[in-house]
Amino acid sequence: MRVLVTEDDENLRVAVEASLRGAGFAVDAATDLPAADEALSVNAYDCAVFDRMLPAGDALHYVERRRQGGWGVPVLFLTARDAVADRIAGLTWGDDYLVKPFAVAELVARVRSLCRRGTTLPAPVLRVADIELDSGRHEASRGGERLSLTTKEFLVLERLLSADGEPVSRAELIGAAWDELVAPASNVLDVLIAQLRRKLGAPPVLHTVRGVGYVLEDR
């Protein structure tokens, strides 16, 4: 699951990023609304976290404009403004509202909840051959045997299964499990694919498509 965090307070932003990454999220960060707008134009997110008062203005108005254009990504607002009118406005255009100061663990829990009901959530159960992945329960199995996967292995397998037999590029797989701090040329994906192949076992179903990426299919 990928999250955009827009916060101009560096200490808070770093703490939120670290906690979300520690919980298994891919996290991109922005310090103002123009940077957030650019990130949203090129990436798909499961949730967006906005500090309300940013250098370029109130994020509430920015989200309101995007909502009126049909944007549906779940939004969590962070703010020191705790008046009833502010809460109502935040929940009118956003999906959740957290008043500063807050416990970062609570923010992580709220982000996870928003991601689960986001419009980009894949089908609850994905299947290819004898491999099944239940997104809701965060479980995967092959031939009825439970697979013990890391968070990133699960996310890569989920993306491969959702492609329904079509090749998935390296960049797409990296985007599904890592954030913008990991360059596509890095070997982290190669290491993960090797581990995933070992855990999936025989007969092999995870194949390399040269010059493209990888495909999951029963050959």
What averages of pLDDT result for each successive group of 10 residues across the chain (219 residues)?
90 90 88 90 88 86 84 87 75 83 88 73 72 83 91 88 86 77 70 93 91 85
Do 174 and 182 contact (CB within 8 A), yes or no?
yes
Do 131 and 140 contact (CB within 8 A), yes or no?
yes
- SS3 call for 160: helix
pLDDT of residue 180: 58
The ranges assigned to domains in the chain are: 2-116, 125-216
pLDDT of residue 184: 56
- SS3 call for 91: helix
Right CATH number for 2-116 from 3.40.50.150, 3.10.50.40, 2.60.120.10, 3.40.50.2300?
3.40.50.2300
pLDDT of residue 211: 86
pTM for the full model? 0.56
Q: In what order do the strands lie in the sheet with 47-51?
A: 26-30, 2-6, 47-51, 75-79, 96-99
Distances (CA, A) of 179 to 17, 91, 104, 156: 11, 28, 20, 13
pLDDT of residue 197: 94
- CATH class of the 125-216 domain in this structure: mainly alpha
Give the pair of three-digit tokens for residue 122: 């894949």
